[in-house]
Chain A
């Protein structure tokens, strides 16, 4: 079965630190990739998406992600996190015409 793995369950960073959250998928062939964010008590919001083209994707709020096909990875990055980035982050993937499959999420805590 197709799957999405997020290796970090909980990440704690100080403000201004750089962020990288890992995401690996098990699909072969063409894949659509997504990162979503869920702030405490809120619904999921789309941060960025990759369908094709430039493997470095820029999203909202200063986030970016890099698609590395050879590694089946789509890691999320931000150069300098803020307290307001405290949230849970979900990677998702879809191949062909299948619905999205979500990873289990990574909780990010940013401390002052």
Chain B
């Protein structure tokens, strides 16, 4: 399995609080992605990065921001969490391009009460 670590694995927080999820990779891959997975919706891309400090929006980016200051780390921030952001969040990486196969982390289960 690809060296991808997501932290935390589980988090419960309250509406209106800021939340940051971390994705750390040891593969030195250029591309990193954040998805959310919800029943009936499959995986939806939130943001992705194609290099240090280079990011772009995905399908469901509203309410989320990202940062990538090092190749190995990609942070997802919910500035003011809402209950609609309760979900399972997956980080993924790919080596050669945004249209290439991705390897996924184990996910973070986030509950916002």
**CB within 8 Å of B: which of A75-112?**
90, 94-105
Pair count A-B, CB < 8 A: 52
Known: A42-B106, A43-B106, A44-B90. Is A98-B44 also a contact (CB below 8 A)? no
Tally of contact residues, A, Cβ under 8 A: 22
The reply to whether A105 and B106 contact each other, CB–CB distance below 8 Å, is no
Query: Is A34 part of the binding interface, using a Cβ–Cβ cutoff of 8 Å?
Result: yes
Residue in B40, B45, B102 whose CB lies within 8 Å of A104: B40
The reply to whether A32 and B106 contact each other, CB–CB distance below 8 Å, is no
Chain B residues with Cβ under 8 A from A45's Cβ?
A: 104
The reply to whether B99 and A98 contact each other, CB–CB distance below 8 Å, is yes
* Residues in chain A within 8 A of chain B (CB atoms): 6, 32, 34, 42-46, 49, 90, 94-105
